[in-house]
Amino acid sequence: MERNKKEQVVAELSQRFRESQSVLVTDFKGIPMDQLSDLRAKLRAVGCDYQVAKNTLVKLAAKDTSVALLDGLMVGNNALGFTTGDPAALAKAFSDFAKTNDKFVIKGGVLGDKVLNPAQIKALAALPSREVMLATLLGTLNAVPTNFVRVLAAVPQKLVYCLAAIRDQKEAA
Q: What is residue 129's predicted lDDT score, i.e. its pLDDT? A: 77
What value does the mean pLDDT of the chain take? 88
CA–CA gap between residue 134 and residue 140 (Å, rounded):
10
pLDDT band at 4 (very low <50, low <70, confident <90, very high): confident
- What does the domain layout of the chain look like in residue ranges? 3-127, 128-173
Report which of 27, 13, 22, 15 is spatially closest to residue 89, judged by C-alpha positions: 22
Q: What is residue 92's predicted lDDT score, i.e. its pLDDT? A: 92
Q: What is residue 110's predicted lDDT score, i.e. its pLDDT? A: 92
What digits encode the pLDDT tens for the residues 56-83? 898 888 888 888 888 888 888 889 998 9
The H-or-E segment that residue 103 falls in is: none
User: Domain 3-127, what fold?
Assistant: Alpha-Beta Plaits (3.30.70)
pLDDT at 159 over 90: no
What digits encode the pLDDT tens for the residues 103-143? 899 999 999 889 999 999 999 888 887 788 889 888 888 88
Does pTM top 0.85 for this prediction? no
Q: What is residue 76's predicted lDDT score, i.e. its pLDDT? A: 86
What digits encode the pLDDT tens for the residues 17-26? 888 889 999 9
pLDDT, mean of residues 86-90: 88
pLDDT, mean of residues 38-62: 90
